[in-house]
Amino acid sequence: MVLYLPKPQNRPKNALQSHISFKIWLFYVKNTLWHDFCKTLAETFKIMNTAEVLIKSLESEGVKYIFGIPGEETLELMEAIKKSSIKFITVRHEQGAAFMADVYGRLTGKAGVCLSTLGPGATNLVTGVADANSDGAPLIAITGQVGTERMHLTSHQYLDLVNMFTPITKRSKQVVRPDTVNEIVRIAFKYAEMEKPGACHIDLPCNIAAMDVEGEVAQMPLKHHRENTVYASTDAILAAGGVFATAKHPVILVGHSAVRNHASEALSAFACSSKIPVVCTMMAKGVVSCDNKYFMGCIGMPQRDFPNIVMEQADLVIAVGYDVVEYAPAKWNPNGDKMIIHIDETPNHVNKFYQPDEEIIGDISASLDALSSVCPNTWEPEWALQIRQMMNADHSRYDHDTTFPPTPQKVLHDIRLVMDEDDILISDVGAHKMWIARQYNCYHPNTCIISNGFATMGIAVPGAIAAKLLNPKKKVLAVTGDGGFMMNSQELETAYREHIPFVTLIFTDGGYGLIKWKQEERYGDSFAVKFTNPDYVKYAESMHLKGYRIERTEDLPRTLREAFRQNVPSIIECPVDYSANMELSQYLKNLNI
């Protein structure tokens, strides 16, 4: 500590004046030293309040961002965040904050954090939190709350948030004692990030937030313990090999757990060495490259598409990282008669259409490596390779089509021309999602993000913000319908303010296209699915963004490239000919394989 002491400016005229001046100077020096000493002591042995300990614990967990909206009941938290290393990103709606945390967690494997005030702020978080929990994305939701002295009363904005979040989280807890907050944070992150990942909720009453946390141990973040890798038993591997030996048409069905547990390389090697066809779920796109000769496409279309036909002919399904929430087993095993080998880090869900003959529980990559040694295969699956050839021919039918408006197939072909293999596409939910799942070729995992557990509209724009934050050098494209876009388009202002440039491509058809498609399939017409749209170019300009409108099919690749060169977010409005929906339904209905 460096102390600069004032010096008397005028020489005293006599001894009395000199003595008085010295006394005044000495008094000032003593008080200054005492004040600085007390300040240093307080900083060294500061008693932190609950909110400060909570934020210190978040820092210890490696949290870099919190997405949210400040509120009166989170004042202590906001003050603690202001003094921390964590960047707070103020959003325009709490649902956007939850979706940002959701996609952040999905891309990193580390829990994304969102924050809201009590009551209506917390209820706005619910959809995004539920999406993360269903999709297996680690997320921590922190809510402010009334003081504990008001909880037994009918009270302004009070809602029992612990019980509200319980069905949509892995764990929902309220901080009721200041000295427990560091434990509650560590437990929340542990639960959120362990298999199957999901959401956890922490509720902090405002009076508890302001209370001092006494005791050095209570103020310190808890230690992290590295989870030991669990390996499958040799008996399970050998038993699975015995099941494989009886199969004539084995097929691999791969789900999202294989993505988040980094099993792409081992899975591709296993498929190639054992010559087994691979079908992926929507959330596992890219875990096996589209140019792998054994890749048979993405399952999820309600119609009998090429991957469905592959699954029909399978007598053994090797389910790798598959979660029943992604695609119901009743759809690919309607008679419950297929042999199943379940390979994952956790046991299977109970389901009468999904009863594995053998379970291999442990590190997925290690399990696949071990299984390859007991699953030798010398013959090519010609039946599946023929289906792949037909699928590829169908997927390329519209590559050179110039009709306007363009078909969804043509739009996705042109997107793929512009995007590099490791660039990231965030899909919203609607008819476009079905086309992305079917037509958009992926080469690497986590390059096409689809919400397909909870399947929530409105995720694309906030999700793209999180993706671009994590990958500033990659192109990030949010693909959305005009229905989903308007649900969270306000977050483009957040992206502009935070200097997060990405491109949003809107498939415009003036309606809820997926529901229209289903209505037309079932009833022959549609009802209550039409709406009008704003001028999206002017909409973009009103938020200081770049806006584009596609008026010729051949303009899309050029427009995409120009939009990606901008240093602000961009919107591209692209009319789409969704007559292709029913055309596809009819085509697949007549598919005779």
Cβ–Cβ under 8 Å, residues 246 and 216: no
Could you give the dihedral angle defined by the CA atoms of residues 322, 324, 326 and 330, in that order, rounded to the nearest 10 degrees? 120
What distance in Å separates the CA atoms of residue 396 and residue 413, rounded to the nearest whole number?
Answer: 8
337's CB contacts (< 8 A; 6+ apart) are none
pLDDT tens digit sequence for 134-158: 999 999 999 999 988 877 877 887 8
Number of helices and strands in the chain (H, E): 25, 18
Instruction: Write down the pLDDT at residue 1.
Output: 41
Cβ–Cβ under 8 Å, residues 561 and 418: yes
* Owner of token pair 């619910």: 126
Residue ranges, the chain, pLDDT below 50: 1-8, 11-12, 38, 41-42
Domains of the chain: 50-219 (3.40.50.970), 234-381 (3.40.50.1220), 396-589 (3.40.50.970)
Instruction: Write down the pLDDT at residue 2.
Output: 43
CA 437 to chain centre: 17
Instruction: Write down the pLDDT at residue 155.
Output: 80
Instruction: Write down the pLDDT at residue 24.
Output: 60
Instruction: Write down the pLDDT at residue 26.
Output: 58
Give just the sign of the alpha carbon dihedral 242, 247, 250, 252. Answer: negative
DSSP-H helix ranges across 419-488: 431-439, 460-470, 482-488
Instruction: Write down the pLDDT at residue 227.
Output: 79
* Owner of token pair 């000199």: 18
Encoding tokens for residue 84? 């921390």
